[in-house]
Structure 1
Amino acid sequence: MIKRGDKMNFKKWISLCCMAFSLTLAVPIAASATGTPEAETEPAAPVQTNGWSEDHTYYLQDGKKITGVHQLSDGYYYFFDGSGTLLTGRQGYVRYNKAAYFVKPDGTLLRNSWGKADGNYYYAGDSAKLHTNTAARIGGKIYCFNTKSVKLTNGLKKIKGNTYLLAASGAAKTGIQLYNGKRYFFNTSNGRMMKNRKIKYNGKLFFATTKGPLVTGWKQVGDKTYYADSKGRLKTGWQTYQGKRYYFNQRTGALRSGWVNIDGRYYYYTPSGSVKTGWFKVGKNTYYGTPSGPLKGARLIEFQRIGGKRYLFNTRGVLLTGWQNRNGHRYYMDSKGVVTTGWRKIKSQWYFFESSGAMKTGWLVHNGNFYYMNPKTGAMTTGRKTIGGQTYTFASSGIYTQRTLSGSWVVKVNRAANVITVYKGNIPVKAFLCSTGMDNATPLGTFSIRDKLWRHELNGPTWGYFCSHITDDILFHSIPAPTTERTAVPSYKFNMLGQQASQGCIRLAMGDAKWLYDTVPVGSTVVVYDDASYPGPLGRPANFKMNEDPVYYYDPTDPIAYPSYSTSK
């Protein structure tokens, strides 16, 4: 129920409202009646559709707030959250659309530089994305980043299956590195640890195992064997280990096995890699490897003296047996390969082989007896035989008994053929190879043996043994040596027998010079002549060679070192 006072107030309020309403309606009417123009209304500001908001908290593009990562016209990258608000006021790692970024307090993203947050280092590339789970070259150095984009440091770290060795700064180490007592090699271009492969670094070879450490000591890799020192360097060339000699390929470092050609000489290596020396067999063939010295294991070829016996090897080093031809002469090796000398019965026929092993043909004087060996086959003649128009009768032993040696000794020197034939009367007794003077320095003519000198100083000075003058300046002598030692005979000079090589004297092998010295007396006739087409009635003696390693050694016919030579003569 409304009281009296209240009724009065209510009525007053109603009256005021009615008055106000009337005034409101009256104003436009009055204005219209008086002709006063209406006040002009200002147009509304246009709605912004592109660019930053006034408070710089969001960015519009076609009237809509952008979200995520964007590079704006100022060249900077920014990150806007799901509501379009620019992320500011903090610094650190954020992820967006499967990529990682680093936000700075001003809202820009890190780009082409390092950033640090919570003690961790990050690096953003040109697109502002952080390097994540990768290795990257930055400022000339390689750095690694984990799946959280954090730079890794200190020790071995694995990224996408590749292993890196990182310093305290995080920079990857390259080349050979020592880590926990083992050596590793890290690729110099990308920092990755090399595994299960050969490496060439600073001119040296290395081999990394499947787990990475470099090989030291012996290592079998597939069918190849290697040997490395304590620093991992693979050995190449010749190496000696525990008294055995090995050869490692100069290019690959692999241990060689089988036949290996080194500087023109062949060596044979067992599957374990040690070189064969002395006698050895490969398949059905027999070989001989030099037993010691700088050429230890080198396969011998051609004629060789081993253990006081001579052997013949072909150019492949195979020991030869049976009949063989060399340098125009015929030789016979027994079943063990020994070169036959002296008398030998072969398939019911008798043959005679000189001390060099060359089969004798034509007239033979042996132990004071005369024999005739078939000029074509070398077989000893028995019975009646016409030789040079004269008929001779030979006993079943081959000895020609109807004639004995008589007359004076004559030494004939065929200068053109470099062959000496010694006669007793008119019977040729011996033939030797010699070396006369270069450019025909040995004079032609008839001379005589003037003296006998056991040793004599020659030009140089050099010394010769078993010397005999035929003129004041020309004499017979052994191969000249630079000292008086019998072991100082130069092999290359010995090997020149059969050709001109001296300054005029007549050189012979030591054994031949001694025979001439012992047999032919002073006063005997010496004839020097030229006949290149016919060396003499006994033919051209075999020209066997002296081993040129070592350069100086005994003359292989020296009776001091090889008594069998003198006895066979």
Structure 2
Amino acid sequence: MRRFLRTVILMLCMAAVLAFTAAAAEKKDSQSAVTAKKVSGKTYLYYKDTGKKVKGLTGLQELPKGSKNYYYFQNNKGRIYASGWFNKGKNYYYASKNGKLKSGWQTIGKKRYFFNRKTLVRSTGWKNVNGKYYYFNSKGAQVTKWLKWKKYTFYLDPANGHARTTGWKTIDKKTYYFNSKGRMQTGWFTVNGKKYYANKSGVRKTGLVTINGKKYYLDKKDNGAMKTGWVTVKGKKYYMSKSGSKKGQAVTGWMTSGKSRYYFNSSGVMQKGWLTLGNKKYYLNPSNGKMVTGKKTISGKTYDFGKKGYLTTTPTGAWSIKVNQGTNVVTVYRGSTPVKAMLCSVGLNGATPNGTRYITDKLRWHELMGPSWGQYCEHLSTSPNSVWSSYLFHSVPYNRYRDPRSMSASAYNMLGQAASHGCIRLNVESAKYIYDNVPIGTKVTIFRGTSANDPLGKPSLKKIPSWQTWDPTDPNI
């Protein structure tokens, strides 16, 4: 029995010694330098000091430990990946000829890549490296300069290692702004409390610009910031609204500032000298544009403009009408003087032809397409001697003959934009004005212009509720 116990104890001691020896050998091996050798076209790893093949290791391994030299073993017999790309599932690696895996920034075949310094995996998509963001395509190559990602545009700056740009950046003599996430800004945007504007391509605009039909001044001296108040551009004065929904927009029409009144045309330019609006004549101080009131001597003649600042005149000369399809505005003239502006609806998709026409008749009610009916109608013929025409001035259409309470509210609310089949629709007040005042034979010019062609501007429209079936301007209701 004692002999048996001695034998068991001896065997346990020998096993412990062997295990310790193996562990020590393994530890020694893990600290030993290694070298790669190619055998029959396959690359294996060997210990330099013993010349033995590295065995028993698989996957990603650091050899020697602490050296930051990594290898990827294909099996436990010492074979490693070498000389190029390889992948494990979706993870891609790159091994040099001696099998060492690349890490960090690497240039391979003229393209830049970044390999995670811990996992050695090739990066794709956005990557934060030392606080800077870079972008790598689906194959891991670094993307440079302009990048479209989802619905955003970025600039990966060559001057900064192709890192994502933020803030102001001038590229090819054009200035852009990228927010804190690197997204290029378009349209209106705010930086440090100031408003700026960039077009669809992201290019910052400066100077006097028109945006959605409204003029703004973006001060080049202030990096393109939107200005309010008085501005002078090429000798012309404008006033940009200081508050409200129209902040920054150039004022048109009359403006009161303190005790002074000014007038700005449809382009926003402050007017000076004589100004005629309808049958009223004003005088605006030539030096500062302020409207004159009371008595004033001009060129040796004294006028009395009264408290309201105008002389009442009766325009003379032949009647004429201009229809601006670009703005859906009708302007009535006596001689060269514009006397009345009206909102209209011309034809959709160019259904109203441009050109010269003449008023050839007057019809109190007239059947239109549909059928529907219009009030205060005039045919517009190509000759003053021809009555027939497919095009008319008329009110917004009604569903029933001689029933002013059967109007289409939706058609009324479209005044100021193209909506008809080709005729020129007006509200009742405007249609009746032409019917009552403008004679048969009057010349009508139809053209496509801009707001600059509307000397009295574009009247506003107060929309009506969908249930309302009468024209609020109709004097008979």
TM-score of the pair, normalised by structure 1: 0.40
TM-score for both structures, normalised by structure 2: 0.47
Structure having the higher Rg? 1
Higher relative contact order (CA 8 A, sep 6+): 2
